[in-house]
Each structure stands twice: as C-alpha cells, then as structure tokens.
Structure 1
Amino acid sequence: MSEKAKRFLDRKKRRKALSDKNGMYEVVDDKNENNTSVSLHLSDEEFTSSIKQYSDSYNRLRTDVKELLTWKHGAVEKYCSWCLEKTWHGLVEANSLTRDCYKCNDCKNFTLKCRFPGCDNMATFKPEKIQAENQLELLKQSWASEYCAEHDGTISSFDTLNDTLDDISNFNQIYKSRKVNVVALTKTTGIAVATAGSLATGAWFAAPWAASALGAFGVLGAAGTGTAISTLSGAALTSASLAAIGPGGVVGGVTCISAAGAALGARKGAAIGAGYFGDINGFDIKKIREGKGPSIIFINGFLTQSDAIQQNQDEDTWLNSIKTIYPDNPCYILSWESSSLLEIGRLFAGFSSVGGKPALLKVLKGLSKKGSSVFTIVDLIASIVNNPWHKAVVKSEMTGVLLADIIARTLPSDGFILAGHSLGARVAYYTMAALSTLEGAPLIKRVYLLGGAVGNDDSWQSIPAAVEGEIYNVYSTNDDILRYAYTTASAFSSKPIGLGKIIYSNSVNNFNASNLVMGHREHKRMFGRVLQALHDN
C-alpha cells in the first residue's frame, strides 16, 4: 500500500468508505489539517488489505492486554529453566498449599519457583499447550520440576551461559557447576536403537529448550496433526517437539548432534556442554606448548598404560611428530573417558591377528557383558550396550559436541587443527558434525584422522563444511584391530574409515599409510613421517 494511502488510513478522526461505480473505494477524512474534506481512491485489494491489517493489530493488542491483566500484578523477573533466559514471569495462580504458578513472558510456558533454599530462579512446570497421545505422555509433560536448571544439574550457571573463553584450556569457567546439584541426573541413555550398534546420544534432548531447538531446526518432522513442527513457535513448538521425542526422551544419531551446532557458543550450547561435561570421565584440555597461529588439539583413542605415564608419553609423541611441519603452533591435548579407554587398551594390547579366531573371541569376550560363562556372537549383540567399547563410543559423541562448543566460544582465535587417533578421530568427527551447522567462516583449519574408529558412510557429505582447509583420512590396511575387533564390536553395523578411503566426499584427502603403519597402535608413532609425506605431495 502506498504511503499516501497509509497516511489517510492512519488518521485518528472519523472516516467512512463509499464504493463508486468502478469498484473503487473512496476513503473520506472529514477534516484534514486545512479544515477541508479530502478523499483518496483505493482499489478493492488495497482496501481489504488495509482493513485486515488494522484488524490483526487490534487482535494482537487485545491478546497482550488480556494476558497482562491475568498476571494479577505479581510478575517477577527471574531466570527461566525452559528457555534459559532471564525473563518476566507473570503470576497465573496463587496457591496456599503448593507453589504459585507463573508463566514465562518469552517462551509462554508455565513455571514454578525453585525449591532450593534461597534460590530465586524458576523451575519448569508444563508447556502452555500439551500434546499428549497417552496418559504417560500427559503425566510427563505436566510434571512439576522441584528445582531450577542450576540446581538439578542441567546447567552450571545461568550467569555464564553466554560467556566467551580466551583460551580453550579455561573451559571450567563455563561448565563447572557453581551451585549444589540436588538431583543426580543420568544423561547417558537410550544407547541401543533399532539395531545393536545404532547409537542414540542424549537425554538432554528431552530438555524442553533442546526439544524446541530440534523441532525448529526441522529434525523432528511433523506433529500428530500433520503440521511440520518447524513451522510452529512458542508453546506449540515445545509441546509438539516433546511429543515427537517421546516418553524416553531420546532422538539419537548424527542428525540431532549436528542440529545442536546452531546453539554452539551461546546459552543453549553451554547448557548442552555442561550436561555432557559431568558425564565424561576425566575430561580435560591441557596446554602443552605455547606458540602462535592455529592451535593444534591432539585427541587420543584408547589408552594402554596408567593415565600419568600415558599422558607424558603422549605429549612427547605428539609434539615430536609435528616439530617439522608445525614448529611454532600452540598445542593442547584432550583427555576424555580415561577409564573406558584404558580398559579397551588393555584388552587390545594382547590382540594379534596371528592368534586367529580364538584370539579375536578372547578380546570380544572382554568387551562383552561381565560374567558370561558362554560367549557367542549372539551374546555379544545382546550385551552390546554394556561393554566398555560402546560406552566409549557414546562418550566420544558427547566429547565431540562439548569440544565444538568450547571452540565456538573461544575468542580471539586463529582457528584450530584437530589430530585424532582411533576413537579420538571419532571425537573429531562429531566436533566437525556439530560445527558444520554454524554460520560464518569455519573455525577448524585442518583435520588429521589417524586410524579412525568411525563409520565410513554418507554422513561424511556434510562434514567438510566445518573445515576451511584439508581433511586427511590416514588409513592402513594392516590395521587388524579395526578390521576384526572394531567391526565385530560394532555388530557389523559399519566399516571404519581407518581401513580405507572415505568415498562419500570429494573434499576428504585419503592417504594410504600401509607402508608406514603396520598396526593400529603405530599411527601416533609414525605421524611425523605421515605429515611429511602429506605436505611433500
């Protein structure tokens, strides 16, 4: 509509509209500034559009006023455990025997005051609109939380969720809890989905804000009504997203972890990271060399000796490997899930393809459920989710997402180079998967994957978006641990990239190191020669 038409329709004086013989409307303003009658001819389309615009504005105003009046003058400004923002909460219902019911003015969901003594934050109650297909789902969505997100361990602190880091080794200031964790939450759930070896990471997806994020990203498909969840907003989005996730609170896989990337470096990214941080045994990032330029992060796979001895040897091995190609770069070493990695390392330490099937079964039995008197492949598949290998596999996904959030909030930065061995390459994979959804220039400059214990499938098509430079897949056909133990422990669900080329992406540089690497544990020791060969080409 033209500016002239808007000026006439915006008059606060009395107006009337008359239709002429040509199907046009004449809008007449009785008196203008010069005290004379003025008129403007509008088409039928313009007139109808203008009336609808005023009607919609009026309805929105009426809704806002009605909602404001229902607050009963009891609004409080507190942190909301639904949306994790500091918002106004209007008093909806005052209660004498239970906690008063409030409603967040931003996310529109219902809240209650946290029960922890002295805490003023708001705990979750129920979404504004509940979409439940059964009584269990209705109960789940209507359940009142006892504590806020700080005191139930979901996040470390509301105040630090938006903080940035000046160095990745200072991650504790974001994720280490500063409040009493009243509720001991178990967030590593739902590992076996559909088939043995199919992994689902993350009870955090059951958190209302995370469910809404996934729904908005288009990951959860359609609601029960057939409406695309990504088209919804507010309480309707939250309710439909929680319903799509289901009572178990699990929607696992790379797709969901990648979707989390949109939250990295912000409030919800820190919440994801804090949830994972408490579940990853021995998570640490140690700076082992000062320098300038892109920071190199070394990520180990399974361990073979005690943590202290292993750490010292690893530092020397990694640093000696890069001294020619990267003599001046700052370097860090990432530690994670040390107990599971040490247990796996001890089992694999005695593995040899020379022993044939008996040697393989011995290793696999060690990975299976403890106490089994008879061991078969059926036993292995039945106990797949209880063995240390699959525990480490799940934790590698968590570690990857946590590292991605740390990288995303570290400023200023010259970027990062990842070097991961075995399951450490899997960590690097999930870091890239999460960061691939971030807008802007990639934060990862280059990646080296050594004997990668991660599947070789079409999910690699989206991974290169997270990396500015090259991704090197260093593989060896001499790797019997990956050939036999990895493949079988994964219930034959995937083939590892450490045995061959990644064929699903033209952006990955595959390097056959079979003439240098004679076995899985040789990758780190030979990394220097591999680097030299890569950069000589």
Structure 2
Amino acid sequence: MARSLYQCDHCKNRTLVCIVPKCMHMAKAGERWDDNLCAEHDGSVPNMSLWTRPLSDIVEFNDVIHADATNFLAIPHSTIFGKLGRLLPLPISDFRALEHFAIRKISDGAQHGITFVNGFLSEAETDTCDWTGSTKQYFEKATCYHLDWEATRHLKNALPEALASAFVSIANSHILFAGANIAASWHLSMKNAEVAGRLLASAILRTPDWSFTLAGHSLGARVIHFALVELAKHGSKRIENAYLLGAAVGGGGKDDDCWRQAANAVRGKIFNCFSSEDSTLAMLYRGANVMVSRPAGYSGIHLEHAQVINVDCSDFVKAHTLWKSKFGEIIRRLEH
C-alpha cells in the first residue's frame, strides 16, 4: 500500500510515515527510493521517545539534551523530522554553538517553578544566594531552579584584555582590536542567549503540569525574552510573571512586535526593571549595536501594553552588578 507524501516544516524535504505500526514519526522520501523507517527505528536517533514524552520535572530536560549527545549532534539537520523538529525548534549548528546549558534545582516546592537566569559574566555561576537571599518570602512555596548557561568564553577573555589596555595608552591600536573583539563576542553572546531561550521554552513546553515564574539579569533577561516569544508561538500561557533586570535586549519602537508577542506567553505581567545609571549595559549593548538599538534595561520598553510594565529603578540601582542584590527591594516596590 502506497504511503502519502508530506513536506517537513523544518527542512522542506519530502517525508512519509514510518512503516512500524503505531509509529507517527517520519521517514525520508528519496528520488529513487523511500526509507521504510524513521530515524529512531533505523537507529539514527537513539531513543527518540526521550525527545517526545512529557516531563514530570523541568530538570529532566537535561537528560533529553545530553542523552547520546555525540550521536545526536552528528546527525545531519535534514534527518530531524516530525515531533523532534517541533520540540527542539532550532538548527543543530545553533545547538553546537551553545557551550553549556543545564537546568539546576535549588529547592523543592509546589508545581510552580521560579527559574533564575544569570547574565553578563555570571551566566554560569552556581551560587544563587544573590537571587534567593532577599526573595524567599515571596517564592517560599515554589520550586526554585537556576538555568546554568554560558554566553561565550570569548567575552570573558576579551573584556579584561581591553580594560587592561585602556590603562596603557588610549591611542594604542590594541584597544581598538580588543574593543572589536568585545563587540564580536557580545554579538555571539546575544545569539547564544536566543538559543538558550528557545531551549528553555522547549523545556517548559515539555513540562505540561507546571506553571512558571521567570527572573533574569542582563543577558539572562534576554534568554527569558526569547523563551517568551517561543512559547507564544506555541500558544503556551503558563508563565505567571517575568522579571527582567537590566535586560540586554532591544526596547525601542522597532521592537514593539517582539514584546507584544512575548506578552502573549504570560498570565500576569512582564516587569521590565531598568536603570539609567546602568552605564555598563548602555556602553556594551549600544556600542556593540552601533547605537541603533537601545537596551530595555537602560531606558525601558517603548511598547505600551497592559502586561508590559516598566519599573524605573534608577534611584537605587547604580551599577549593572547590583541588580540581583536589589531583587527583593524591587518586588517590595511592586507590591505597594
């Protein structure tokens, strides 16, 4: 019996249903012959069910992305079909670019999780006291998580080099080279934040019995922004609130559509906490973007929307490194 032909939404190649009874994964269609089996049943992708089953806890997503990682990443992008392509909605080349991604549980609680995401120069830190120290009373019933991810090692290497050079000679061409290195690394970091955000969205989509609150700093807020945009594409609205501290993501008029879409993923509010005193964010973000984009964490979000709330923290957040330690104070302000 002939099988119907389809077109993969992800790679646009022709596909057809695997011949294994009750299997709904797709096999490759060829010019001269068609494959009988999907990637799981012909052995190309070990244990595809790991990629499609619901998760009881978001930390189980670590097992999904790290199981047989070498074999998985060796698979050509064109062979990723069906549910796998929809649940992991990013190219394999992007996945390779992300140097580290893991969701770590900090404390147990109810089936509402608050996930903290670090940012610039602290995204891979394991100490979460700066997040949780002043906020326990607000999230005491929630299960707490931290997203460990690495923006890029190059940014960490380039920044001290440039700063050291600045003390040698302001006319030294080495400063320009180091500055260009920072800009290139910052762009890569922003791209990796998008990838991490889409992975976080995939993890949330795979955990259907849970609701979440998200809190991110700097590039971590960028991770959350793209997670919200991805969740909105899937019609998911399981985010209670999102707190963005010194967000390294565009907030100008040209970004209105993205913020409008992100708002569709939250039940409550997106609280964009900004400070005009955050000179580090202003210099790095605006400098790397040739002054054509202004960060939401420096001057707010242009979009006027009932679920997007700008919170001016300029009077008490005077530096980029102070945001997380002020999180408890920010929440107290929002409650009054």
Question: Which TM class, normalised by the smaller chain length?
Answer: 0.7 to 0.9
Percentage identity across paired residues of the two chains: 28
In the alignment, which residue of structure 2 is the partner of 1:322? Answer: 135
1:371-400 Cα shifts (integer Å, max 9, x gaps): xxxxxxxxx9xxx6xx22111111111111
Amino acid at match of 2:244: L
- Tell me if structure 2 keeps the 8 A contact 1:426–1:454: yes
Provide the alpha-carbon RMSD of the alignment.
Answer: 4.0
Structure 2 residue 227 is matched with structure 1 residue 427: no
- Tell me if structure 2 keeps the 8 A contact 1:157–1:179: no
Equivalent positions of 1:11-410 (< 5 A) are 67=2, 87-88=18-19, 109-110=29-30, 121=37, 151=44, 157-178=47-68, 181=71, 184=74, 207=78, 266-272=83-89, 275=92, 276-303=94-121, 310-312=125-127, 315-337=128-150, 339-340=152-153, 343=156, 346-347=159-160, 358=170, 365-369=177-181, 387-410=184-207
In the alignment, which residue of structure 1 is the partner of 2:290? Answer: 491
Out of 472, 477, 484, the residue aligned to residue 276 of structure 2 is: 477
Q: Counterparts of 1:527 and 1:342 in 2: how far apart (Å)? A: 25
Structure 2 residue 325 is matched with structure 1 residue 529: no
Question: CA 1:526/1:181 → structure 2, altered by over 3 Å: closer, same or farther?
Answer: same
Consecutive unaligned residues in structure 2, runs of 5 or more? 4-11
Shift of 1:157: 4.1
Q: Counterparts of 1:422 and 1:344 in 2: how far apart (Å)? A: 18
Amino acid at match of 1:334: L
Question: CA 1:412/1:345 → structure 2, altered by over 3 Å: closer, same or farther?
Answer: farther
Question: CA 1:422/1:149 → structure 2, altered by over 3 Å: closer, same or farther?
Answer: farther
SS at 1:333 equivalent: strand
Amino acid at match of 1:296: I
Q: Counterparts of 1:331 and 1:389 in 2: how far apart (Å)? A: 29
Question: CA 1:331/1:342 → structure 2, altered by over 3 Å: closer, same or farther?
Answer: farther
Shift of 1:461: 1.9
Amino acid at match of 1:280: L
Question: CA 1:421/1:496 → structure 2, altered by over 3 Å: closer, same or farther?
Answer: same
Question: CA 1:85/1:447 → structure 2, altered by over 3 Å: closer, same or farther?
Answer: farther
- Tell me if structure 2 keeps the 8 A contact 1:425–1:453: yes
Shift of 1:450: 0.4
1:173-198 Cα shifts (integer Å, max 9, x gaps): 32224376387579xxxxxxxxxxxx
In the alignment, which residue of structure 1 is the partner of 2:262? Answer: 463
- Tell me if structure 2 keeps the 8 A contact 1:325–1:532: no
- With normalisation by structure 2, the TM-score equals 0.78
- Tell me if structure 2 keeps the 8 A contact 1:163–1:409: yes
Amino acid at match of 2:19: W
SS at 2:103 equivalent: strand
- Tell me if structure 1 keeps the 8 A contact 2:54–2:207: yes
Question: CA 1:327/1:161 → structure 2, altered by over 3 Å: closer, same or farther?
Answer: closer
- Tell me if structure 1 keeps the 8 A contact 2:242–2:271: yes
Q: Counterparts of 1:149 and 1:392 in 2: how far apart (Å)? A: 37
Amino acid at match of 2:85: K
- Tell me if structure 1 keeps the 8 A contact 2:216–2:224: yes
In the alignment, which residue of structure 1 is the partner of 2:7? Answer: none
Larger relative contact order (Cα-Cα within 8 Å, sequence gap ≥ 6): 2
- With normalisation by structure 1, the TM-score equals 0.51
Higher deviation after alignment, 498-507 or 475-484: 498-507
In the alignment, which residue of structure 2 is the partner of 1:448? Answer: 243
SS at 2:309 equivalent: strand
- Tell me if structure 1 keeps the 8 A contact 2:27–2:38: no
- Tell me if structure 2 keeps the 8 A contact 1:113–1:121: no
Matched residues, number: 315
SS at 2:284 equivalent: helix
